[in-house]
Amino acid sequence: MTVLDGEEGATPPATSNRQWSKTSSTRRTILAAAEDVFVDLGYWESNISNIVERSGSSVGSIYHHFGGKSELFTALWESYSQTLGAVANEASQAYREAHPSEAPIDAFCEGARAYCMHTWGSRRGLSLFYSGDTPPGYEKLRRQGNSRWLRRNAKLLDLGDTRSDALVTASLTAIIAEACRLIITVDTEEEAQEVAEAAVVLLRGLYGAKA
């Protein structure tokens, strides 16, 4: 729970709850409009006035909540990254709890499937981050995100920090990333599932050959 006033664990007053709800709703509306504009026009061809028109918000509100066009793009990327990570982690952890004696790669593959299929469901927005039409600084942000992803994957796979383990982790992670790059281009969910399962076969094969 997010605490707005008082000590941690305290219940915020009703007026604070309403204000937080309104703020959260405004941010979601602006982000959804920014996503539509970026997808339709491209990052560099779009401007704040396009987002104002699409969202129904004011210029002041957009700058208050996000700060500008590049910050909106960053917020979208962070939102997608957090959601995809949570989807994969939830699927992996659920598998581990149901099959505690199975090898780490099994839970990892379950998370990879979930990650890939969520990518299919979110392909319109995620296409932004594969387009190359991105703001300055995005590549650095993406590399930082990839570093966090690698650390999570190494932990899930029970791999260490040797060069060999690092190479395995990076290779497995790259398979998922390339599968997602392909998934956003396919036409049907069935095709997306085929790509996800092909990725799982590669993941298992590479992990099995690591010794």
- Rounded Cα distance between 32 and 191, Å, is 27
- Rounded Cα distance between 31 and 25, Å, is 10
pLDDT at 51: 96
Over residues 55-62, mean pLDDT = 93
Bin 51: left if φ > 0, else alpha if -120 < ψ < 50, else beta.
alpha
Same domain for 85 and 171? yes
Q: Does residue 3 fall inside a structural domain?
A: no
Q: Does residue 6 fall inside a structural domain?
A: no
Last residue of a domain, one of 67, 89, 105: 67
Within a 13 Å sphere around the CA of 55, how many CA atoms are in the beta-carbon half?
27
Whether the pLDDT of residue 69 is over 50: the answer is yes
pLDDT over 70, % of the chain? 89
Instruction: Count the helix, strand and coil residues of the chain and give each as a percent rounded to the nearest 5.
Output: 75, 0, 25
- Rounded Cα distance between 107 and 110, Å, is 5
Sequence letter at residue 171: S
Residue 23: give its domain's CATH number: 1.10.10.60
For residue range 170-210, what is the model confidence (pLDDT) as tens digits? 999 999 999 999 999 999 999 999 999 999 999 999 999 87
Last residue of a domain, one of 47, 67, 87: 67
- Rounded Cα distance between 73 and 159, Å, is 33
At residue 71's C-alpha, the angle toward residues 62 and 22, to 5°, is 40
Q: Does residue 124 fall inside a structural domain?
A: yes
Same domain for 136 and 198? yes
> Do 176 and 202 meet the contact criterion of CB atoms below 8 Å apart?
no
Same domain for 111 and 39? no
For residue range 91-150, what is the model confidence (pLDDT) as tens digits? 999 999 999 999 999 999 999 999 999 999 999 999 999 989 999 999 999 999 999 999
Q: Does residue 5 fall inside a structural domain?
A: no
Same domain for 29 and 99? no
For residue range 20-53, what is the model confidence (pLDDT) as tens digits? 355 688 899 999 999 999 999 999 999 999 999 9
Same domain for 56 and 87? no
Domain count for the chain, please give it.
2
Please give the residue range of the domain that contains residue 30. 11-67
Global pTM?
A: 0.84
Same domain for 116 and 28? no
Same domain for 149 and 99? yes
Over residues 45-65, mean pLDDT = 94
